[in-house]
Every structure is written in structure tokens, then in C-alpha cells.
Amino acid sequence: MNDQHWGPSISADIVVIGGGTAGIGFVASLLKRDPHLNVTVIEPSSQHFYQPAWTLVGGGAFDVKDTVRPMSKVMPRQATWIQASVSAIDPDKRQLTLNDQRTIGYQNLIVCPGLRLAWEKIEGLQESLGQHGVTSNYSYQHAEYTWDQVQKLRDGRALFTQPAMPIKCAGAPQKALYLSCDHWRRSAVLHNINVEFNLAGAALFGVATFVPPLMKYIEKYNAQLAFNSNLVKVDGPAKTAWFEVKDTDGNVSRIAKTFDLLHVVPPQVSPDFIAQSPLADTAGWCEVDPHSLQHLRYPEVFALGDICGTSNAKTAAAVRKQVVVVAQNLLALRKQQLLPLKYDGYGSCPLTVEKGKVILAEFGYGGKLLPTFALDPTVPRRSAWWLKATLLPWFYWNGMLKGREWLTRVSKVD
């Protein structure tokens, strides 16, 4: 249902901000539990993207056209879709303001607008992206350009970057490096290419268990690691990138590096209407209990997905379990019952270390390993590649967005 009949002021029951993975997945799960609920979704985009496959697109292993569908095709039929964006939230009044100045009152609010890619925080990037060898798998428009440039590069210097955390899919910046290097190795040109990974942080991966097997691939591809090196400026025509590099004493210097290929991961921030609202924590993310996903100060509000001010990995796999927790807990709250489920911080990073092999990193809060399968999770496997490249995309469109809760075992509150 569209929003053509709405007037300037709207009174709604359950309002969901966001029609991405978290929003559509949650609404589908909630309506499967109770199809009579009155649910309104606020989402400005006319398209819905399966972003986890963009890394594969950049590695020549997936068709970018298969990562997008019309929003109208994935929006649950029982929900009302308002195609607009939120400009302000007043949780004390239980009211939202839209970009067209309409207001919406709500009984319950589910916050899942995702995060914002802050391309503008890197000087010169927006002018250079998609040309001069400057690309990013974090963009639907440019993932194909990554593969185009990888295929064309026969010698020279390839720079890959990773900004400060938090970002969505923390493994994606290095997946771009691995798939590129694997192609160059198979094409017998890797020895002609100087590969460097510039990370704003001080570790290759946030869960120490997975660092040794990943380091084997860094060494296999003869890639250099530059820690505490944050991309701040790009000049595409000059093929030069500038990094702010922090030494062991905390001193920061700016270093210029030339490139033939530059794969950029942009800084990522909370949308302004969340960061500037009473729902935000000190860092601008939506402040929720890490286990119930209920807001700490506004009990009628829940959040899930990338917007959460929780320490879990921001991945679609995390959302898969969060939708169950929030759907069950919301229904319990509306019946004035105790919230029954708790989220353990589960997230998954299928690390595509070469074409045809994946290290399936699954973990929860505190880096606790939470493997789905009874296999050593540090071993690269072809079965995990099949899961990443074939099964999960199919299940996303045909299962997760339709309320089918596969591999979503969650804990009950003690």
C-alpha cells in the first residue's frame, strides 16, 4: 500500500523507520506472527539492495543487476509504505517529522534506517570516484568499476583502505584486496603489482582468532599492511592519495602515496536525524540495551541493524537474529509481558580470501566464537563460498525478506 491518501498529520500504531535489510526483514517477521498488526514503514528509496554481494561484484563473481529489486516488490503487502524520509524525531511526544513537513504519531517505534556513507569526509573523493582508478565496493554504482579496473591492471600500485570503526561489514575492505590479488595471481601479474592495505586501526581483524589465517593470505599475496593510516584526501587525475598516519607516540603526519588502483571504504556515520535526536548515545548511534534491543530511556522504542549503538558487527547476518529478538520482544511489550528474548551480539563475516574459498567468521559480543556449523571456523572452505555466493543471496530474497527465520536460534532471557 502506498501513502497517497495520507494528510498532513498521521496517527499510526507501529512505525518502522527504514526499508533496508533490517526494516523489511523485521516487518515480514512481525506480520508473520500477527498479520493483523497496523504497521507503517517510512522509506524514501524506490529500490532495495542486497549489499553483501557487492564485494563479489567487485571480484567478478556476481552480477550487480541481481543485487537490486524494486522496493514495491519486497515491501510486505500488509504494511503501509510512506515513501519519504524522516527529518526529526521527538520521542517525548512520540512523533516524527518527515522531509515534507508531515508529522506522524506512533505507539511503538522501530528504528532501523541503517547508517550513512560519509563520502564527503575524504577530500576530493566524490569528484574522483568511478574514474582515474578510484573505486569502492560500498557503492552499487561503482562495484562493477572495481572489477573493470582489477582486470585492466597489469602492473603498478594498488591501494586498499579501511576507515575507523564502526563500519558495516568490517571484513569487506580486505575482501576487496583478497579477490583482487587472487585474480592477479591467477593472471600471473601479481608479482608486478605493489599491493598495500591502509587501515585506520591497529589490527587486521577485530576478532583475534581469525588474524593468523588471514595473515597467511596477506603473505601469500605479498600485500603490505599500513596500520594507523587513514585516507583523508584523493586527487584522481594526479593518482595520489593522502593518509594521516599515527606513530607509536600518537603523533600524526600526512603522507602522500601514488596509486594505479585505489579501493576506498568511506567513513560511516549515524544519520543526522538520529544523531541529533534524544534517541542517540554520545557517539550518535541509537542507544539500546545490547541484549533486548529496547531503547534505554524510551521503552516503546526498539532499534536493530546498523543504527544500533551496540558492539556487534554491522552485518546482514546480525540482522537475521535481531529481527527475531525485536519482533518477539515488541509483541511481549504490547501485551505488558516481560521481554522474552536476548540478542548475543551474533554477526558473521564471510571472508572471501580467494575466489572459491571463504573463512566463515561468526562471533558475538566480546569476540566470542559462535559458529553455526561444527567445523573449524578458521579454515577456508569451498562450502562457505557456496553459502556466501549462492545460498545466502537466494535465501535473502526468498526467505529473510518474507519472514522465514532460517538459522535464527536466539537465547531466552534467564
Catalytic residues: 169, 349
d(CA 30, CA 201): 38
What are φ and ψ of residue 286, in 5° steps?
Answer: -70, 125
d(CA 171, CA 162): 9
Question: 317 burial class (0-12, 13-18, 19+ CB within 10 angstroms)?
Answer: buried
d(CA 90, CA 255): 44
d(CA 308, CA 288): 7
Four-CA torsion 395, 302, 365, 270, nearest 10 degrees: 90
d(CA 115, CA 290): 18
d(CA 112, CA 297): 17
d(CA 150, CA 172): 16
8 Å CB contact between 315 and 351: no
8 Å CB contact between 197 and 177: yes
d(CA 252, CA 247): 7
